Structure 1
Amino acid sequence: MLPDQPFLRIPGPTPIPPSVQRAVNQPMIGHRDQETKDLLHTIKPKLKPVFGTEQDVLILAGSGTAGLETAVVNAVHPGDEVLVIVTGAFGSRFVQICQAYQIETHRFDVEWGEAVKPEAIEAYLKQHPEIKAVFATFCETSTGVLNPVKELARVVHQQTDALFIVDGVSCVGGVAVEMDDWDIDILITGSQKAMMLPAGLTFLAVSERAWEVVETNDRPSFYFDLTKYRKQLESGATPFTPALSLLFGLKQVLELFEEEGLETVFARHKLMKNMTRTAFQALDIPLLTCDEAASPTVTAIKPEDFDPEALRRVLKRDFDMTIAGGQQHLKGRIFRIGHMGYCSPADMLQTISMIEYALHKIGQPVELGCGTRAAQKTMLSGGS
């Protein structure tokens, strides 16, 4: 193991491209000067395809959770009832935010590791037509599930006048999303995952339908008031001091997306998902989610005959590799591998090989190279 050679394979923060790191290290400029206006004018149109929208994507200095809270504060009137679909730890976070604002919150729980079924939400909404907003998690980071938000949006708008608000923090930039065509009302993501940046920015896009609600909302807010961000962005500014270093990096990220092509970016993430899954299937180690519900950005593995924490310790000690553990009731029962952002199929071959080594070190009777070989075959077949 060499110094300064960490291997980060968690579902965020993710590794940063060297060109983005160099961009982030640029000297500061005046945040009210013309250079910053020019920077924001360059960024603004390039963000829209990532979200699949013609709406402006608003940029706030803050974590992804700041974006989730911003959506709640702006889109829910005092006295409204909301539904939160909970498929893991980050669905629960939406519940906690709503409850912090004394919002009457309906909670629809789904077993961790499974995707929500749109027909179940359809039935629930028929019984609760008074609901004014439905919150869902696109990729549930804690389980590696990708929820069917396109179908959920259709059900929500067929059954109610509610807004449909989506946490896309751990997948936007790594999976295809068509916010406008799918009829998503607010879509949120953060900088430190598939967007290949350090933590510290959150992004929100808002539909015309949602803007009508936001503009009539009398819930008090200062920093999180989206109308301020929209107004300032029109003139190439932000209402409060922006995270300038991250904006430099964001410009470079968007240029990298354009160079690679978004469809190629999404195909790369899908390939890495399939390589990871076929590797563990070959090693006969169970996956938490089924193939149909699996996210292209993070894979959760649930072993039956060894301690995931022992595996993580060996990887850290012998390679300085970090993979994620489980959260809440899955703590100590699963491990998770992030494969998003600045990550390639070559990285996954290396990761799987290291994991095979670590499995051998903790006494698992695995055939060394078995998982790597399966991943190689998946890569050679084009990901199928």
Structure 2
Amino acid sequence: MDNKLMLMIPGPTPVPEAALLAMAKHPMGHRSKEFDAIFAECTENLKWLHQTSGDVLSLTVSGTGAMEAGIINFLSAGDRVLVGTNGKFGERWAEVAVAYGLNAEIIKAEWGQPLNPEDFREKLEADTEKQIKAVIVTHSETSTGVLNDLETINRHVKAHGEALIMVDAVTSLGAVSVPMEAWGLDVIASGSQKAYMIPPGLGFVAVSPKAWKAYKTATLPRYYLDLGKYSKDAAKNTTPFTPPVNMFFALQASLQMMKAEGLENVFARHRRLMTTTRAAVKALGLPLFAADGAASPAITSVMPPASVDAQKVRTLMRKKFDIALADGQDHLKGKIFRIGHLGFVCDRDILAAISALEVVLQELGHEGCTPGAGIAAAAKELAGS
């Protein structure tokens, strides 16, 4: 029998039935009053999720497209920007910045380690002539499972006064609080296939008034990703270009689910899934790639001992249990595996994944734990939460 595939990767994430059924409806005209009403509801709920009253714009792009739009709409060639890199996606934003002729200065940490806010403070305080125009930070580094200290880095940016802060929140938005207005964040980019609980295809860019002021003088080329067009049309509950209509049906359903659960409950669930997964993995004698104090609530990266082949773990999890885990990226490929726990994931999913992992580890001859230790640790964590 073909089993139900269980996605335990950082994206795409599982999609709830309500969103799948919504997508199965016949399309409607994207210039119709009916679609305008759906779009308006989605926009309002996106603002709720971002904790802002300002613009949250929907684009037909991936998370990378949303982040690129967030960079090119507010900067000009030659602008000095600081880019934090401690994984695959931080490095990607540095590549995007260079591709558009920005003067990108890298603030680096080793993969698996969080960015040091003090490194940003030193650069920003030394910039007495206010030449730094933006600071680009990946909040949850998907490639490593590290959550960077966005709040502290942002405080240093605010003290600078001139620079914008641009945030890759692709695997943090909806999994951890990203209070846009309270923190004064300027640009936040995210993607539909993560904590939004729907398939890939939509990207979102939230924009502050300070960023819109910079937009007026920014000169990087833009057309399809010109956020000014999206903002103007969003005010009329429409889009400048043809949107993926059925994806908005799904977005409407998923945001309704999140609102029914409640924002703090959504965040608490992700914290619980994170702590449960990490406790179980530790009990199984497997080292974690990110330290407890810098762990992402979206994904747990595991660096198994030499006696356990990470690739074989992933292969057997898929073959025996139809559970998909993510590989490492770049130089970590085949050296770690990543367990996603964001979006439409519940306690039962974690228990199932840990049980399967225990079976796989036993089959691979892992002797670093007592059988049942992972589930016992998970149960204890859930009972106390």
TM-score bracket for this pair, using the shorter chain length:
over 0.9
Unaligned residue ranges in structure 2 (runs of 5+)? none
AA of the residue aligned to 2:325: I
| Aligned mate of 1:343, from 330, 342, 345 | 345
Residue 160 (structure 1) shift? 4.5
AA of the residue aligned to 2:124: L
Instruction: Report matched runs for 1:187-266 at 5 Å.
Output: 187-266=188-267
AA of the residue aligned to 1:377: K
1:278-300: CA deviations, max 9, x gaps? 00111121101111100111000
1:79-106: CA deviations, max 9, x gaps? 2111100010000110111111121111
Residue 368 (structure 1) shift? 2.3
4+ aligned runs moved over 3 Å, structure 1 = none
Instruction: Report matched runs for 1:320-335 at 5 Å.
Output: 320-335=322-337
Residue 159 (structure 1) shift? 2.5
SS in 2 for 1:254: helix
- 2:126 and 2:253 mapped to 1: Cα distance? 48
AA of the residue aligned to 1:304: P
- 1:63 and 1:150 mapped to 2: Cα distance? 25
- 2:264 and 2:225 mapped to 1: Cα distance? 33
Contact 2:67 2:205 in 1 (8 A): no
- 1:199 and 1:187 mapped to 2: Cα distance? 18
1:239-298: CA deviations, max 9, x gaps? 000111110001001110111111111111000000000001111211011111001110
Instruction: Report matched runs for 1:269-308 at 5 Å.
Output: 269-305=270-306, 306-308=308-310
Contact 1:86 1:109 in 2 (8 A): yes
SS in 1 for 2:301: strand
- Show the counterpart of 1:317: 319
Residue 4 (structure 1) shift? 4.7
- Show the counterpart of 2:380: 377
- 1:104 and 1:330 mapped to 2: Cα distance? 28
AA of the residue aligned to 1:337: I
Unaligned residue ranges in structure 1 (runs of 5+)? none
- 2:123 and 2:310 mapped to 1: Cα distance? 37
- 1:186 and 1:219 mapped to 2: Cα distance? 16
**Greater mean alpha carbon deviation, residues 126-135 or residues 101-110:** 126-135
Residue 216 (structure 1) shift? 2.2
The reply to whether residue 99 of structure 1 matches residue 98 of structure 2 is yes
1:122-180: CA deviations, max 9, x gaps? 01223344211110001000010111111111101213411000000012111111011
1:330-378: CA deviations, max 9, x gaps? 1111110000100001100000000011111111124221101100100
SS in 1 for 2:137: strand
- 1:202 and 1:41 mapped to 2: Cα distance? 16
- 1:257 and 1:217 mapped to 2: Cα distance? 36
SS in 2 for 1:75: coil
Over aligned residues, Cα RMSD in angstroms? Answer: 1.1
**Greater mean alpha carbon deviation, residues 95-104 or residues 203-212:** 95-104
SS in 1 for 2:73: helix
- 2:90 and 2:221 mapped to 1: Cα distance? 25
Amino-acid identity (%): 40
Aligned residue pairs total: 381
1:39-65: CA deviations, max 9, x gaps? 111112111121111112100001000
- Show the counterpart of 1:367: 370
- 1:243 and 1:324 mapped to 2: Cα distance? 27
